[in-house]
Structure 1
Amino acid sequence: MILRLTLAALAFAATLATPLRADIAIQEVTSPGGIKAWLVEDHNIPFMALEIRFRGGTSLDQPGKRGAVNLMAATLEEGAGDLDAQGFAAARDGLAAQIGFGANSDEVSVSVQALSENRAAAMDLLRLALAEPRFDEAALDRVRGQVLAGLRADEQDPSAIAGRVFSARAYGDHPYGSSGDGAIDSVTALVRDDIIAAWQGTMARDRIYVAAAGDITAEDLGLLLDKLFAGLPATGWAMPPKATWNDAGGISTQDFPGPQSVVLFGHSGIAFDDPDFFAANLLNDILGGGRFSARLMQEVREKRGLTYGIGTGLSSRDLSQEWVGQFQASNDKVAEAIDVVRAEWARMASGDVSEEDLATAKTYMTGAYPLRFEGNGPIASILVGMQMLGLPSDYPKTRNDKVNAVTLADLQRVAARLMNPDHLFFKVVGQPVGLQSTE
């Protein structure tokens, strides 16, 4: 307990020691074995954070094996080498280290935080988990039970139901069209060989992205990485094809008893590397970003009291792009709320934005950005994300300039290009009054 508190205290201290600004010094490191990584070196606190991503994620599930990558990632810390699940947990806790694994539709993620004095031992433990996972049957069954419990709970959760059907309608048979957690039948049918195959097919050296922040030099990081990844296969499964969003607008309702309905809505979006992305991001902030002054919050909540909250966001995924939003409303208010969303979408698409809208959005976006760099863990996570997006290492220094360069004419042009209320699809789960499904 004392060791855990020590690590937590140092992690918090690191957030205070790290300048709250985006002009951090990013080093591009290449290990002797050719592994590339980014590093923000800071020796003020004896603590390091390491972030690793393997591109592909749950989208790499093989036919008939939906949920295998997710189950594999969730079982990596359940024993490795000569350590069973309890032994691995005891070794990790004894080092006051944090080692976490996860998976989403685009990546398998590994997050590590360790004190400098325990770094070597913590990295040896991580190497075991990456290169020699045990996947013991007892551990697999235990973790499988947890996944199945979550899937059963999702069957009674209107938000989960809406998300599942919304994705299926948007992407059909593409992996994006179904949950990476799998379905009850597919997860139940998985065997140990499927999990081993998922490990070998996803955690390969040809898809690694790495970033570190904290008390480590570039030379030491390079040596660490070569040792860490030495036991991994050179190549993994082929990446899935690009996804195509179904841009046919409409409304789909699904009965679910209760006083409120859950509503998801959206249409296709814009890629991060598109020259118009920053203009689109500013448009989203004005329309439905995280501020109470956003138009949808004002029109749907403040003026009409139709919902407690509503928001939208741009999602630039590896294989597709989306512009989506969500809200919950009393059943008797859902139809009106949808009408208001469509009207505001059309209003902005027509170019109804002002210099004041633009200035406010710029102030918010440029002011909030440096606050993301608040400690070794967040910095390492941001750096690895930048690499996966193909950004240059000086991006944090130039990002706000790109935001500030957007003009009102850019906003109006991009709104006309991207925003089409006729393409908006609304998935409603609940018992909405006076709302007819179009499909």
Structure 2
Amino acid sequence: MRQIGLLVAACLAMTVWTSAPARAAAKIQHLISPGGIEAWFVQDATVPIVAMEFAMSGGAAQDPDGKSGVANMVADLIDEGSGDLDSRTFHERLERRAIELNFSVSRDFFRGSLRMLRDDKDEAFDLLRMSLSSPHFDGADVERIRTQVLSGLKRETSNPSALASRKFLELAYGDHPYGRPTNGNLQSVPRITVADLKDYVGRVLTRERLKIAVVGDIDAASLGRLLDQTFGGLPARSSLAPVPDIDAAQPPQRAFIPLDVPQTVVTFGGPGIKRSDPDFMPAFVVNHILGGGSLSSRLYREVREKRGLAYSVYESLLWMDHSAMFVGNTGTRADRAGETVDAVTSEVRRIAEEGPTKQELDEAKSYLKGSRMLSLDTSAKLAGALLQYQLDHLPIDYIERRNALVDAVTLEDAKRAAQRLWGHGLLTVVVGRASQTATEPAIVTPAKAN
């Protein structure tokens, strides 16, 4: 049940289908329950499993000023006793039926997932209903979870990746809600009260902006009944504080945090391209060429294969409701940190100025078309993808149209997107032992307990 970090998001798998592309191409229904609850739904009886993913607008951006971490604590506590069940009994009922119920938060959304055997669907949905509608927030449970969160935050003060991520967001977004850590900090978490948790639930956990995706062995009538029973009792309207649109800070900027650790961590990025932007798909394709996580990416070849500076290096696009950015990460020896930063900066500058080659573009398209379908190999992963398409305001047939959109990206499109993304340089945060980290001057920030 735990938070989704900004830099990495992970889907939990349950049962592997024998023919992923065929399942992913199954008919997606727009289901409306008798009570008006909407969901995207794929009925599939290949295995007796049902997977549901859902989200409500709000997320950590709705944390009160000075109390970052409220949404994260709600996600950690909402299944720690609800209805007429205390925490222990609630989890015993989950475990008895091997029901997986998880909650998490991103900056824009409070999210949940539910996975169960077909025959346990009534109990599984009822436990979810109790979590959403009548969480206890008992004092002992709140303090236990608070202690766990604070313990994790204390560990982060000596974790170079965590420090780099926090400083990068601070550099990019300042005092905007996106600049705050979703799990809070050592000053804010002790201030969070039970009243704060209950207020968040009342404002955010509603039907108004509810998005649902369900995949598995269940018929439409049964699903509609369960959706009404589960979500129908929630408040109809949310009460969200406005979150302003924001562009990430313009590069180039660089910060250095001294920390006595064996490996220096480098986090880099800058303003991105929103999901609704016409240049998003060209940006997505050209980003794969630069640092999309494959062994053929330019950054991997230049930083690892040619220079042996790091074991891995990646870079990806991130988009939110009110902003977008690209962000990358690598780790290296302290005495080679400057060389590593310079290698990344040089490669980013080169693709911004020259764009990709035709061969790179063709190979990226081929990979992105094939890998996406193969990645939807479980009911959980397909449900997660369908939920994300809804959150991104994409059409219900997007999964069928996506490859054509990838194919339509031209070399000129890719070059234009590369210039937009990387033409201004990088925001760079270096965390590690003091040494010459790069040729440009840096803002030196002491590591602190945040």
Shorter-chain TM range is: over 0.9
| Residue of structure 1 aligned with 2:63, choices 61, 64, 68 | 61
Query: Distance between the aligned counterparts of 2:328 and 2:313, measured in 1?
Result: 7
Query: Distance between the aligned counterparts of 1:336 and 1:41, measured in 2?
Result: 53
1:3 corresponding residue in structure 2: none
SS of equivalent to 2:199: helix
**How far did residue 423 of structure 1 move?**
3.4
In the alignment, does 2:442 pair up with 1:438?
Answer: yes
SS of equivalent to 1:114: strand
SS of equivalent to 2:364: helix
1:285 corresponding residue in structure 2: 288
- Which has the higher mean CA deviation after the structures are superposed, 269-278 or 15-24? 15-24
1:174 corresponding residue in structure 2: 176
1:6 corresponding residue in structure 2: none
CA contact (8 A) 2:334 2:432 kept: yes
CA contact (8 A) 1:351 1:413 kept: no
- Kindly provide the amino acid, as one letter, of the partner of residue 340 in structure 1: A
| Residue of structure 2 aligned with 1:266, choices 258, 269, 284 | 269
Question: Against the structure 1 CA distance between its residues 208 and 343, is the aligned structure 2 distance closer, same or farther, given a 3 Å change threshold?
Answer: same
Residues 159-198 of structure 1 aligned to structure 2 (within 5 Å): 159-198=161-200
Query: Please, which runs of 5 or more residues in structure 1 have no aligned partner?
Result: 1-9
CA contact (8 A) 1:335 1:432 kept: no
Query: Distance between the aligned counterparts of 2:129 and 2:120, measured in 1?
Result: 14
| Residue of structure 1 aligned with 2:29, choices 3, 19, 27 | 27
Taking structure 2 as the reference length, the TM-score comes to 0.92
Query: Distance between the aligned counterparts of 1:258 and 1:143, measured in 2?
Result: 29
Identity within the alignment, %: 38
**How far did residue 182 of structure 1 move?**
0.9
1:7 corresponding residue in structure 2: none
Query: Please, which runs of 5 or more residues in structure 2 have no aligned partner?
Result: 1-12, 444-450
In terms of fraction of residues, the more helix-rich structure is: 1
- Kindly provide the amino acid, as one letter, of the partner of residue 282 in structure 1: V
CA contact (8 A) 1:22 1:369 kept: no
1:139 corresponding residue in structure 2: 141
**How far did residue 267 of structure 1 move?**
0.9
Query: Distance between the aligned counterparts of 1:394 and 1:218, measured in 2?
Result: 19
Question: Against the structure 1 CA distance between its residues 49 and 260, is the aligned structure 2 distance closer, same or farther, given a 3 Å change threshold?
Answer: same
**How far did residue 345 of structure 1 move?**
1.3
1:86 corresponding residue in structure 2: 88
**How far did residue 18 of structure 1 move?**
5.1
**How far did residue 20 of structure 1 move?**
5.2
Query: Distance between the aligned counterparts of 2:23 and 2:136, measured in 1?
Result: 42
**How far did residue 388 of structure 1 move?**
0.5
Query: Distance between the aligned counterparts of 2:121 and 2:355, measured in 1?
Result: 55
Query: Distance between the aligned counterparts of 1:344 and 1:20, measured in 2?
Result: 39
Residues 21-420 of structure 1 aligned to structure 2 (within 5 Å): 22-238=24-240, 239-420=242-423
SS of equivalent to 1:244: coil
Computed over aligned residues only, the root mean square deviation of the Cα atoms, in angstroms, reads 1.6
CA contact (8 A) 1:21 1:370 kept: no
Aligned length in residues: 428
Question: Against the structure 1 CA distance between its residues 279 and 114, is the aligned structure 2 distance closer, same or farther, given a 3 Å change threshold?
Answer: same
Question: Against the structure 1 CA distance between its residues 352 and 248, is the aligned structure 2 distance closer, same or farther, given a 3 Å change threshold?
Answer: closer
Query: Distance between the aligned counterparts of 1:132 and 1:90, measured in 2?
Result: 18
Taking structure 1 as the reference length, the TM-score comes to 0.94
Query: Distance between the aligned counterparts of 1:406 and 1:248, measured in 2?
Result: 27
- Kindly provide the amino acid, as one letter, of the partner of residue 56 in structure 1: G
**How far did residue 389 of structure 1 move?**
0.4
2:4 corresponding residue in structure 1: none
- Which has the higher mean CA deviation after the structures are superposed, 212-221 or 387-396? 212-221
